[in-house]
Amino acid sequence: MKPPFLETEALGAQLDDAQVRATTTRQPSDLTPLGIDAAYAVQHALLARRVARGEKPVGVKLGFTSLAKARQMGVGELIIGTITDRMQVQDGGTLDRRTFIHPRIEPEVAYLIGRDIAPDDPLDPTAIVAVAPALEIIDSRYEDFRFDLGDVVADNTSAAAFAVGPWASPSAAGDLGNRAVLLEIDSRIVETGSTAAILGDPARALPAAQRLGAAHGFALRAGTILLAGAATAAVALPARGIVEATITGLGRVSVRIEGAA
Ligand code: OOG
Ligand code: MG
């Protein structure tokens, strides 16, 4: 069932304003849980506002691809969101902690899609032309970082910022099914895991994105960055310092956090 237009726009505006002002807002589910189609409609309305301000979508992200994340947040279904050019920070670049509410950071694998993929195209792993280690900053716009499935989908899957490390060709990167993942803050290890935590093998991210994208209105075009989902639980972003993710045999990516008092 399609949600009423006005309600979709109002919720999109509410979440968009919360992000812009770096303040929390109420969970829609506190009143009535959003159905999945209604939730994606809100997410698309929220993205349309960002696009109207000049932002360009550059990719999609998957959420809850790992058990660690699903357990941490109490949501067990795969979700998809949009990442934009405004959210991207260069590898080694600086993020201002004050632009976020209660940010967390997590190590991910990023894929680069090399050609347009139509919703009913057969699965084709050669559509991936590059792969890289990545960091995602998530920042739920909801009080206490608490949400149900509909809430988090409406909030663009908590997407806030991301960085992608050096791209490698898939053949040079080799099988990424089980590589060690390290998350470090100022050279102190805060999380360890394996790429196997991502859907059993992050190579499953493309088929998952194709399926979710087709179901919920996300285009996978040439040049799309695909964030495959966290390999470990997310950790609170420090007030300042350097956060680095390392994936064995693939490389490392870092961001510097500044701005907090
Ligand atoms: C939702 C986003 C989940 C991931 O990698 O699993 C996600 C959240 O945890 O706030 O990005
Ligand atoms: Mg993530």
Q: What is the DSSP letter of 219?
A: -
Pick from 13, 12, 20: nearest CA to 160:
20
84 with 157: CB under 8 angstroms? no
Question: pLDDT band at residue 205, thresholds of 50, 70 and 90?
Answer: very high
Cα 153 to Cα 51, 116, 197: the distances in Å are 18, 24, 21
The whole-number average pLDDT for the span 189-210 is 97
What residues have CB less than 8 Å from 3, skipping those under 6 apart?
A: 34, 35, 37, 38, 41, 42
- pLDDT tens per residue across span 157-170: 999 999 999 999 99
What whole-number distance in Å separates Cα of residue 113 and Cα of residue 131? 9
User: Phi/psi zone of residue 256: left (φ > 0), alpha (ψ -120 to 50 degrees), beta?
Assistant: beta
Q: Which atom of ligand 1 is nearest to the CA of 230?
A: 5
Cα 215 to Cα 34, 83, 119, 242: the distances in Å are 17, 18, 8, 38
Q: What is the dihedral of CA 11, 12, 17, 22, to 10 degrees?
A: 90
Which of 19, 27, 69, 237 to probe ligand 1 with, by most ligand atoms within 8 A of CB? 69
CA-proximal residue: ligand 1, atom 10 (nearest): 158
- pLDDT tens per residue across span 127-145: 999 999 999 999 999 999 9
Which of 140, 141, 158, 181 to probe ligand 1 with, by most ligand atoms within 8 A of CB? 158
Average pLDDT, the chain: 95
Predicted confidence at residue 119, as pLDDT, reads 85
